[in-house]
Amino acid sequence: MPNTQNQISPLRVGIAGLGTVGIGVIKIITQHAEMLASRTGRTIEISAVSARSKGKDRGVDLSAYAFEEDPVALAKRDDVDLFIEVIGGDEGPAKDAVVVALQAGKDVVTANKAMLAIHGHELAQLAESKKVSLRYEAAVAGGIPVIKSLTEGLAGNKITRIMGVMNGTCNYILTRMEETRQGYNALFNECAELGYLEADPNLDVGGIDAGHKLAILSSIAYGTQVDFSNIHLEGIQEITLQDIEHVAEMGYKIKLLGVTQLTENGLEQRMTPCLVPASSPLGQLSGGTNMVVIEGDSVEQVVLRGPGAGEGPTASAVMGDVIDIARGIHLPVFGIPAEQLSKAQPASCTAPAPYYLRIPLHNKAGALAQMATALGDCDISIAHLHQYEDEFDAAKASVLIVTEACSKQALQTALGKMEGTSVLAGTPIAIRIEAV
Amino acid sequence: MPNTQNQISPLRVGIAGLGTVGIGVIKIITQHAEMLASRTGRTIEISAVSARSKGKDRGVDLSAYAFEEDPVALAKRDDVDLFIEVIGGDEGPAKDAVVVALQAGKDVVTANKAMLAIHGHELAQLAESKKVSLRYEAAVAGGIPVIKSLTEGLAGNKITRIMGVMNGTCNYILTRMEETRQGYNALFNECAELGYLEADPNLDVGGIDAGHKLAILSSIAYGTQVDFSNIHLEGIQEITLQDIEHVAEMGYKIKLLGVTQLTENGLEQRMTPCLVPASSPLGQLSGGTNMVVIEGDSVEQVVLRGPGAGEGPTASAVMGDVIDIARGIHLPVFGIPAEQLSKAQPASCTAPAPYYLRIPLHNKAGALAQMATALGDCDISIAHLHQYEDEFDAAKASVLIVTEACSKQALQTALGKMEGTSVLAGTPIAIRIEAV
């Protein structure tokens, strides 16, 4: 139960950042005040807010709250017990203000995946040295309570693998390519027009944003210091409509899939396009929805699905953390004390898997044989092969292959051997088939 | 953070019930002792266990634990801080022991859905009067951390609806009927042989077990005293292979679906067969897997999927609760203090929806017209209609109808009118189509 003092004193929050998420949080706190008081045993009050522009109409009445132009000033205020950071950015005002708030002994709730993926360990050490909470449910997979499920609900499990589709924009592009039969560039432009892309689109389509989220999940799952720099990142820019249609015929979908697993070779963290069975929960995920699959030695597999972004869902996740803090729930930032988090040992190689290959060949005698020889020399067996002529250029052909399980290293060696011959008419594409 | 005393003193547990779940819990506590200590800041020790037969070989070494034949004696032991009840049954030794443990000021973790659905409010009052925890993640949807997600992660939401497929045996029967084209009775017998059925099979196929789970979710979602007696229960016994195949042609699946929502007419709690779109997450759920869909005003929709039963998944859920208690996390049993839970007002009528109807008719002139008149007189519009002759009896026909949204009361009136005519050749079937 919350202690007697908590039942009496209100929790006073300061909100830095008045974009959609900040406004969403204000709406929940004001519109559901009675419900929140009932659920937490105390009232939650907004003392002060911070944003770059005070005057802008944001559709909610902010006149009852003190206003600070500088989030650092907000973080220092005596009437703020809990600092909510929804500014964004891994450096600059967001991080400065979070550090100041933690140093001042205030609890912090943030939605900032980049900051946590890059500076999470140092911030966890700071928070724990000050015996305050640093919470970040909204940083991963929007409204899905995945941090809580992993850190608490499934904490009796040795986690064996986590997989996630955690960038709605990428999944929107990939599923819309298939639905509309348009190419990557057309869908990229559609996303730009719809405002679905970050200011730096590479954060989305390059897999960086989703990679930040994966790094955070890895740390909790394996008790390691968050290690974004060792995530193997590949974006979706090279995926063609042809790839999507070919794999569909074989019963697969292409997803930008994050995978983290601790193998005998070390911690494997990948955020890359993967093939998954069309009939699997991951394969059936379309549009901007997110999904995280958590596998543990006891629970087997739990699948969590929900909106990955947006005002309401992200504010819901922020409020989950705020409510925990109001209820007096405090946990180590990454599930175990930061001082016990081990340094991640990046995997020396990737676990074997079957791959989908698209190999553009010159349409001449012996080309297929040379390609097949390159694979065979590297001990890569072919499970399926389909060759078809280029629609527009009879001198070219594409060979589509599904291999048996092989190592990525062997595959790269084989592709290197092909490049040493004159048979390739373009750059081969290799996409891992993840067993889900 | 756990307080200093918690970091030092071990958490001493007693486990009542040494079936698969109890043994699963013992395995996790013994095999993951170091991981659990790291995650909770203290060691978790088993002091004593209880079961009907001491000597039985259960595949784990129990010699280090004190043994009590009587779970009530276990609940009273001074060396037990936390009492884990995995005996089952809403009355008898399980409940007696839980009451004694709570009265003795011990925290309790249980997997007992029947006990909570029927006696949950009185047990919550007792636990809270003693300022101890009563936790039950394993009681609902096996390994899925749904209680935690609802009570904590999504606590910033006004819950608008919860839907759940929460009885694996029913879902197994329904999906296997479609896969194997066998009737209900054949699959029921298969389940009996596989040991998938409770001792009283009506708990499964009658929807009672799943109804217990729904009653618990309702209480948390709407802040109401758990009210199993007002759940509208219908089992799957009347579902025919023909129904499954007909609705499949229209793009639907039949699920035993629990739905709880608070409408202007009161709290609506139903556990009945429903049609859901085959392409929806619920429609795609096959076999014994469970799924819970939580809808809130901010988060929109979160879908949780995982194993609904079994040693590992259920033990994982029990351990989630044990870990929370070891970490010093205490919450009101149903999310808000028991004294604030309101008495549920059962809905006076069911929210309107489209229905699937199968109406056996005598194949004679005017029969269809009389049936259609009965519907029309009750203001029920027909969206689709398909009539086909009985395969074995040319004197009979079946009419399949999908109605526009209508009230269940209007539908029952219409079916009553039909019964007053001579056109019916059997009992009509009506299955709600739930919008998911």
pLDDT tens string A204-250? 999 999 999 999 999 999 999 999 999 999 999 999 999 999 999 99
DSSP 8-state secondary structure symbol assigned to residue A333: T
Give residue-wise pLDDT tens across range B40-77: 999 999 999 999 988 889 999 999 999 999 999 999 99
Q: How confident is the model at residue B420 (pLDDT cuts 50, 70, 90)?
A: confident
Contacts of A168 (CB under 8 A, 6+ apart): A142, A196, A287, A288, A289, A290, A307, A308, A309
Q: Does the pLDDT at position A357 exceed 70?
A: yes
Confidence of residue A392 (pLDDT cuts 50, 70, 90): confident
Q: Does A22 touch chain B (CB under 8 A)?
A: no
User: Would residue B319 count as lying in a domain?
Assistant: no
Q: What are phi and psi of A339, to 5 degrees?
A: -65, -20
What pLDDT is stored for residue B415 in this prediction?
A: 95
A16 lies in which domain range?
Answer: 4-139
Which domain CATH number covers B359? 3.30.70.260
**Residue A62's domain is classified under what CATH number?**
3.40.50.720
Nearest CA in chain A to B37: A336
pLDDT band at A3 (very low <50, low <70, confident <90, very high): very low
- Domain assignment present for residue B417? The answer is yes
Q: Does A275 touch chain B (CB under 8 A)?
A: no
Q: Which residue of B has its CA nearest to A302?
A: B306
Q: Which residues of B touch A32 (CB under 8 A)?
A: 156, 158
Is position B333 within any domain?
no
pLDDT at A103: 98
Question: Catalytic pick from B76, B213, B253, B255?
Answer: B213
Handedness of CA A322, A327, A328, A329 (dihedral sign): negative
Tell me: do A231 and A376 sit in the same domain: no
Largest CA distance in chain A: 84
Mean local confidence (pLDDT), A95-116:
98
Q: Of the candidates A284, A322, A336, which has its C-beta nearest B38's C-beta?
A: A336
Output the pLDDT for position A173.
97
A305–chain B Cβ distance below 8 A for any pair: yes
Residue range A23-56, pLDDT digits in tens: 999 999 999 999 999 999 999 999 999 999 888 8
Q: What is the mean pLDDT of chain B?
A: 95
Quick one: B159 and B202 in the same domain? Answer: yes
Q: In the annotation, is A213 catalytic?
A: yes
Residue B401 has pLDDT above 50, yes or no: yes
- Could you tell me if A120 and A162 lie in one domain? no
A20 pLDDT tier (thresholds 50, 70, 90): very high
- How many domains, in total, are found in chain B? 3
Per-residue pLDDT, averaged over A289-302, amounts to: 98
- Measured between CA atoms, the residue of chain A closest to residue B26 is A156
Confidence of residue A114 (pLDDT cuts 50, 70, 90): very high
Q: Which residues pair with B83 in a beta bridge?
A: B14, B108
A107 close to B (CB below 8 A)? no
Length of chain A counted residue by residue: 436
A329 contact B CB<8A: yes
Instruction: Indicate the residue among A112, A139, A166 that finishes a domain.
Output: A139
CA pair distance B185, A270, nearest whole angstrom: 48
More confident residue, A363 or B180: B180
Confidence of residue B365 (pLDDT cuts 50, 70, 90): confident
Same domain, B38 and B119: yes
Do B251 and B105 lie in a common domain? no
Q: How confident is the model at residue A1 (pLDDT cuts 50, 70, 90)?
A: very low
The answer to whether residue A180 scores a pLDDT higher than 60 is yes
* Contact (CB, 8 A) for A436 and A293: yes
Query: Which member of A95, A113, A213, A255 is catalytic?
Result: A213
Q: Which residues of B touch A306 (CB under 8 A)?
A: 299-303
Q: What are phi and psi of B224, to 5 degrees?
A: -115, 155
Say yes or no: B152 contacts chain A, CB-CB below 8 A: yes
Q: Helix or strand or coil: residue B248?
A: helix
Crossing angle of helices A311-326 and A33-40, in 10° steps, is: 40
CA of A415, closest CA in chain B: separation in Å?
A: 38
Is B327's CB within 8 Å of A323's CB? no
pLDDT digits (tens, 9 = 90+) for B308-337: 999 999 999 999 999 999 999 999 999 999
Q: Spell out where B86-158 has E strands.
A: 107-110, 134-135
A241 shares its domain with A105: no
A154 lies within 8 A of chain B by CB:
yes
User: Rounded to whole angstroms, how far apart are CA atoms B107 and B13?
Assistant: 9
Give the residue on A whose Cα is nearest the Cα of B304: A304
The reported pTM is: 0.96
Tell which of A307, A322, A347 closes a domain.
Answer: A307
| A152 at interface of B, judged by CB pairs closer than 8 A | yes
| Residue to substitute from A3, A38, A39, interface B, most B β-carbons within 10 A | A39
Do A290 and A208 share a structural domain?
yes
User: Is A130 touching B (CB cutoff 8 A)?
Assistant: no
Provide mean pLDDT across the span A99-120.
Answer: 98
Does A137 lie at the interface with B, CB-CB under 8 angstroms?
Answer: yes
Question: Is A304 in Cβ contact with B303 (below 8 Å)?
Answer: yes
- The reply to whether A349 falls in a domain is no
Residues A132 and A150 in one domain: no
The chain B residue lying nearest A142, using CA atoms, is: B299
Q: Is residue A342 part of a domain?
A: no
Q: Which residues from A are below 8 Å from B336, CB to CB? A: 38-39
Q: What is the CATH number of the domain that holds B179?
A: 3.30.360.10
In A, minimum Cα distance to B150 occurs at A145
Edge to edge, the sheet with strand A107-110 lists A66-68, A44-50, A11-16, A82-85, A107-110, A134-135
Same domain, A151 and A277: yes
Of residues A298, A316, A336, nearest to B316 (C-beta): A298
Average pLDDT over residues B224-244: 96
pLDDT of residue B3: 44
- Give helix B33-40 / helix B20-31 axis angle, nearest 10°: 80
Instruction: Specify whether A160 is located in the same domain as A185.
Output: yes
In a domain, A113, yes or no: yes
- Which of A139, A164, A184 is a domain's end point? A139
- Quick one: A274 and A290 in the same domain? yes
Q: What is the pLDDT of residues B274-310, one digit of tens each?
A: 999 999 999 999 998 999 999 999 999 999 999 999 9
Confidence of residue B393 (pLDDT cuts 50, 70, 90): confident
CB contact under 8 A, A28 and B298: yes
- A340–B157 CB contact, under 8 Å: no
**Minimal Cβ distance to A315: which of B39, B298, B307:** B298
pLDDT tens per residue, range B102-142: 999 999 999 999 999 999 999 999 999 999 999 999 999 99
DSSP classification of residue A3: -
Query: Which residues have C-beta within 8 Å of that of residue A55, sequence separation ≥ 6?
Result: none
Interval A297-336: pLDDT, tens? 999 999 999 999 999 999 999 999 999 999 999 999 999 9
Specify whether A132 is located in the same domain as A261: no
Chain A residues with CB under 8 Å of B324 CB are: 152
In a domain, A197, yes or no: yes
The torsion angles phi and psi of B427, rounded to 5 degrees, stand at -85, 125
Residue B316 is assigned to a structural domain of this protein: no
